[in-house]
Chain A
Amino acid sequence: MNVFRLAGDVSHLVAIIILLLKIWRSKSCAGISGKSQVLFALVFTTRYLDLFTVFISVYNTVMKVVFLALSYATVYLIYMRFRNSYNSENDTFRVEFLLVPVIGLSFLENYAFTPLEILWTFSIFLEAVAIMPQLFMITKTGEAESITTHYLFFLGLYRALYIANWVWRYHTESFYDLIAIVSGVVQTIFFCDFFYLYFTRVLRGRGKMTLP
């Protein structure tokens, strides 16, 4: 554990809580891609199966359970509790275009051809692209509420901090995990365009982020 890793995990947690509280308080999930949230729940589910096989640390176990619980709570709020506010007509990204290549890649490129390892690899690859339905939705509607952009900012910050964590670990422990690093860099690149808009538009005090 290093400061980048801890800050990354905290950013991830903050992002998820921001989204959950936004939906809960406004009683609306307008502008939120339910598809992205289902994909994230799937990411956590397939990655954290090792909760049943190995114990790493109290921190590790608690964070995994919290991420799982919060992601399922978010999906519940979007598709059950506040489904009337869900903009399904704008959430039209074809998820199968992500799932098919990701499933294929996780069978081809993994550390061991075992069910748990393949599912872990699947979760890493899927996380890299899971935000695409949300970004697609923003592109389609041309705008995002500022609170949604804060969510995306912390989610992107989490990925950027994990890269710093890997650089740190490579230098201090000679540790590197190529699958995670490549996927993590790809995932972070998806956020670059968003980061630019976030800093140039949202932080200038406008209520919404509108695309040109």
Chain B
Amino acid sequence: MDDDFGKDEL
């Protein structure tokens, strides 16, 4: 999974 695919959520 790319880092810009959802990992900004906590």
Contacts and interface: CB of A to CB of B under 8 A. Distances in A.
A41 B2 CA distance: 25
A9 B10 contact: yes
A60 interface: yes
A180 interface: yes
B6 to A, nearest CB: 4
B6 A57 contact: no
User: Chain A interface: which size bin?
Assistant: 20 to 34
Contacts of A117: 1
Nearest to B8: A56
A175 B8 CA distance: 12
A162 B10 CA distance: 10
Interface residues of B, number: 8
A74 B6 CA distance: 27
A15 B8 CA distance: 21
A63 B5 CA distance: 19
A100 interface: no
A54 B7 contact: yes
A5 B10 CA distance: 9
Interface of B: 1, 3, 5-10
Q: Which 6 A-B pairs have the closest CB atoms?
A: A111-B1, A177-B6, A56-B8, A54-B3, A63-B10, A9-B10
